[in-house]
Amino acid sequence: MIMITGGLGFLAASAAKILCEQGRKILVTVHRKTELAPFLEPYRDKNLFLCPLDITDFEAVEKTIQVHGIRSIIHAASVYEAKGSLYDAMRVNIVGTINILEASLRQGITRLTALSTEAVYQGIKQWEPLREEQLLHVESDRYIPGTKRAEENLCLLYAVKSNLEITLLRASRIYGPMMIFGGRNPISMMVRSAIEGKAADLSHIDEDEGHDNIYVKDCAGGVIMVHEAEKLQHRIYNLGHGQLTTFGQVRDAVLKVYPGARITLGKHLGDVTATKSPLDINACLDIRRIREELGYQPAYDIDKGVSALISWFRDGRYI
């Protein structure tokens, strides 16, 4: 059985869906969030099982692994600004990760895939695609970059000092079904305003600002591809679309489905905006490693991804 921590979250739920479709047995850990995504309901208590778990409680983590016969783990649980304080983020992202690592070691887990983020590259201001072997900066200005760097260090140290097979996946900016509404990723706001026929004044967002946006189904597929690989050549993999998409291109993708949508974006707003902090990266992720080694190739460009997201918000269809 595969355990997914934070399994009711955005990316983890999509990964669980893929595994369920493959007939795998999944244990999804539940803490504060308890609502199962509708596209997972058909699998509930068949090959998908929910289990309450606070990963900051080491004894509970170890007991869960032991009782349910867990053989591998996808570690996706995390806290960011909208979900708690900095202390909460430290406890879950760092202490929780230590507990997962140590319990895995003691219980003989064969493989652990930890979900990291492109945000660990914060401070690297190049325009060339970012590669896994680049040295990282220390300074952070948000919870996730700082705690995920610490999490990566812990995972790599356990990998060296034990027989745990640990892989880190640095995902780029994800959008799609179950995404959280927020200022740092306005794709959902553009889509919802178009569906509801409302004007979206996003003049505080630069239409020329680009990010490596990846549709959640592509990202989840990459996670499963790495987790299920028979043998891996590396411990760290970038996971993104491999190119920048501007907010203007996102708007244009929405307009292809809703030509009358009223979406106003700003222009020439500078390097620091509502969606980009002073330390945030400018470049996309270099995905050659995962593509050449495992054959990974995103299936959703921005037009297809936005169209699929519209279907989710409008009709509840996961495509």
Q: What is the DSSP string of 238-266?
A: EES-SS-EEHHHHHHHHHHH-TT--EEEE
SS3 content of the chain, % helix, strand, coil (to 5): 40, 20, 40
Residues 60, 88 within the same domain: yes
Residues 226, 270 within the same domain: no
Residues 64, 108 within the same domain: yes
CATH number at residue 186: 3.90.25
Query: What is the rounded average pLDDT of the residues 211-237?
Result: 97
Expressed as residue numbers, the domain containing 114 is 2-174+213-239
Residues 155, 232 within the same domain: yes
Q: For 80-84, 209-213, 221-225, which range has the lowest pLDDT when averaged over its residues?
A: 80-84
**Run of H or E residues at 218:** helix 216-228
Residue 288 lies in a domain: no
Instruction: Give Cα separations from 162 to 3, 103, 117, 122, 166 (angstroms).
Output: 20, 12, 24, 29, 10
Q: How many domains does the chain have?
A: 2
Residue 293 lies in a domain: no
Query: What is the rounded average pLDDT of the residues 154-174?
Result: 96
198 burial (CB, 10 Å; 0-12 / 13-18 / 19+) is exposed
Query: What is the rounded average pLDDT of the residues 216-243?
Result: 97
Residues 264, 274 within the same domain: yes
Q: So what's the pLDDT on residue 183?
A: 56
